[in-house]
Structure 1
Amino acid sequence: MKLRELGESGIKVSEIGLGCSGFWGDKRFPDRKAIDIILSAFKQGVNFFDTGSNYSNFNAEPRLGRAIKEILRIAPRDSIVVSTKAGSNVGYAPTVADDDLYHSDFSPDALLRTCKKSIENLKCDYIDVFQLHGFKPDLLNDEMFRCLSDLKTKGMVRAVGVNT
């Protein structure tokens, strides 16, 4: 599997990534099957796994964390790239519709809380790519930039981005 640099971040991601949400993250889908999908992808060279703190009614991150725990038994932490998102307070992937942004919180306190919880859920010590989810540019402000910069300085995240 070829790797490519993600922007100018220095992070190398597989050309194929695996999105960890939807039915994969649903509690009705067997946990062992979901974990086996991740392990199989990893063994075939996929190193990029993307999820969100709220995906699959808040089940996707902990499930991916269980898979990551198994990967880390056979490979070092720097062999995987974990991406997650913050800002959404509802158990599904929001759109940029005004109704969905009503259910969002992009305050520095919420971003810090979500980042800490995501690291705990994902069992991975840090987040490689931490994204603002369902985000509108008019929400950007100096306080948010400071918070995101602090997360990087503290080693909690390697790169930040926006996902809409």
Structure 2
Amino acid sequence: MGLSKIIQGCMTYGEWGKQLTTHDIAKRIESNVENGITSFDHADIYGGYTTEADFGKGLQASHIQRSDIQIISKCGLQLPSPERGNQLKHYQYDADYIVAQARQSISNLQCDYLDVFLLHRPSPLMQKDEIAKAISLLKSEGLIKAFGVSNFSLAQIDYLSSSVEILYNQIQISCTHLEALENDHLYGLSQRQIQPMAWQPLGEVFKLDSDHNLKICLSELSSKYNLNEAQLAIAFLNKLPFDILPVIGTTSVERSRLSMEATQVDLELQDWFRLYEASRGHEVA
């Protein structure tokens, strides 16, 4: 089973956000699956290394079978932690650590395996063969199904790809953050057959002043399409020819459902360019 068209980000489920109870998490898992959102995005560091375990308890308390969902997690970004002996934020990508952290995430999530395992951010010290050794072992033991990266440049991807297959790159892309489109990163991923996931896919649309061109444009199109601003932001990404998977951060079941509905919306050509122009601040050449 592939990933769902919308991925539920779980960073704010725990200590870094709403501090949902086990019951709350279980109900959100069930409701998301009912709405077609079957993929859930994690990282070992969320909640100060606690949110994966919170989710795992919720998954066990839910009526959802492990085989009906896809779980994504990330490793490699180390936060200051007396328990871990970390004095400062840094990256760690030796094979032993990658394997140990993947096993720890699987244990915390109570999920037996990860559908997708990502390296959270590139490290200047990462060694491709060391990473490849870890991923090969994890795959051979059935602990991960697919491997990817997050926030990696095309050059960094090519460096790793000579030793290990990369299927995903989780990047920042939205109607207010167009760099991955403007600098051809998305085209490069497509050429390499790497699927993009989009973190913060709504961008800064809720922080824009009411007189900002993009805010005005979103308001006008909201009436035309009977969509809210968040849905229009999802539809904007969906129009791009790169099969982008938005990772939404809301803890609201209703907002998640509306995001999923937005993946069925096909913006008219000139309406998409109206949003594009409003975001860039000038018309196309």
What is the TM-score normalised by the length of structure 1? 0.77
- Which whole-Å deviations, capped at 9, do the CAs of 1:101-145 have from their partners, x for residues lacking one? x52211111101101111100101111101111124762321221
1:39·1:67 contact (CA, 8 Å) conserved in 2? no
Aligned to 2:55: 64
Greater share of residues in strand? 1
Q: Is the partner of 2:111 in helix, strand or coil?
A: coil
1:79 aligns with 2:68: yes
The answer to whether the Cα contact below 8 Å between 2:72 and 2:114 also exists between their aligned partners in 1 is yes
- Residue 8 of structure 1 corresponds to none
> Would the aligned equivalents of 1:88 and 1:103 in 2 still touch at CA under 8 Å?
yes
Paired amino acid for 2:8: L
Work out which structure has the larger RCO, using CA pairs closer than 8 Å and 6 or more positions apart in sequence: 1
After superposing the two structures, state which structure 1 stretch, 118-127 or 57-66, moved more: 57-66
**Deviation digits for residues 68-101 of structure 1, max 9, x if unmatched?**
2134xx343221100000112217xxxxxxxx8x
Alignment of 1:98-109 (within 5 A): 103-109=90-96
- 1:53 pairs, out of 16, 29, 44, with 44
Q: 1:21: how far off?
A: 0.3
Deviation larger for 77-86 or 140-149: 140-149
SS at match of 2:3: strand
Structure 2 unaligned runs (5+)?
81-87, 152-285
Residues 18 and 46 of structure 1 are in contact (CA less than 8 Å); yes or no, is this contact kept in structure 2?
A: yes
The yes-or-no answer on 1:36 pairing with 2:27 is yes
State the SS of the aligned residue for 1:118. helix
In structure 2, what is the equivalent of residue 18 of structure 1? 8
Q: What SS class does the counterpart of residue 143 from structure 1 fall into?
A: helix
Q: Could you say which structure has the larger radius of gyration? A: 2
Unaligned stretches of 5+ residues in structure 1: 1-10, 92-99
Aligned to 1:160: 147
CA distance in 1, matches of 2:123, 2:94: 13
User: Could you say what the CA RMSD is over the residues aligned between the two structures, in angstroms?
Assistant: 2.1
Specify whether residues 141 and 157 from structure 1 end up closer, same or farther in structure 2 by C-alpha distance, changes over 3 A only.
same
Query: Identity of paired residues, percent?
Result: 29
CA distance in 1: counterparts of 2:58 and 2:37, whole angstroms: 13
Amino acid at match of 1:83: I
Query: Which one of 110, 117, 123 corresponds to residue 110 of structure 2?
Result: 123
C-alpha distance 123-63 of structure 1, shift in aligned 2 (>3 A): same
Aligned residues: 142
Counterpart pick for 2:129 among 133, 137, 142 = 142
Residues 1:75 and 1:30: Cα distance change in structure 2 (over 3 Å) = closer
Residue 184 of structure 2 corresponds to none
- DSSP-derived class of the 2:91 partner: coil
SS at match of 2:77: coil
